[in-house]
Amino acid sequence: MRRATPLMPRLKVRLRLLIVLLLACLLWYGGSALDAKIQPALQELAEYESRAATVEAMNGAISREMEQHPERYQNLYTIRYGQDGEVASVESNAVALNQARMYLIEAVTQALQTLPETELRIPWGSLLDSALLNDRGPSWSLCIQPRGYVEGEIQESVREVEINKVEYCIDLELSTVVNMILDGDTHLLNVENTVPVAHVLLDGATPGYYAQGDA
């Protein structure tokens, strides 16, 4: 003959199971909600850090190249004077500009090949609005790798900076795509950057101030 199980112990067991299931659901929901809040912030921070590191590498490569080989960038333009001694025009040297563009792109490409791995850290306080957790939080590894080629175009411009004074500018507009590897997940990031190659202040008026040289 089967013995009847007391009612109270059975209720206690069921109540404990219910509490465990409820806690598990709360933990799962809390983890999902926190992950939904962390991921956008992490993605935004990773993009910012990746873009900043890539632009810094670009600027450093351009600066080093021009300091180590100044002779490559000395004949990019010719200033022509009128009979009155005033500057009549500025004529760019297309051949020299194209060579300079290739040298600078090569320098940037090599620099991007050696970008170091970066560790990102997001304090819990910035996500949970808690001052007590501002200095605590997880960290994620971030690796930036170049993808494809670095592209660059020379742009010339003249702008008036004050009365009878203009600035003639030669800039290199760079663009590239990098792999942003965040804890094993790869994301593509487009990075654009404009780097000055030559800026010169000249006396004169803006209209008809410069002309493109023959290749």
pLDDT class of 215 with cuts at 50, 70, 90: very low
- Which residues does residue 118 pair with via DSSP β-bridges, in sequence order? 142
pLDDT digits (tens, 9 = 90+) for 32-60: 545 556 777 777 878 888 899 899 999 99
Q: Region 184-202: what's the mean pLDDT?
A: 90
The pLDDT of residue 160 is above 60: yes
The pLDDT of residue 118 is above 50: yes
Whole-number Cα distances in Å, 96 to 66, 70, 76, 93: 14, 13, 6, 5
pLDDT for position 25: 57
The amino acid sitting at 85 is G
pLDDT digits (tens, 9 = 90+) for 179-192: 888 777 888 899 99
The pLDDT of residue 207 is above 50: no
- pTM for the model: 0.72
Residues of the chain with pLDDT > 90: what percent? 31
Q: How many CB atoms lie within 10 A of CB 104?
A: 24
pLDDT for position 162: 78
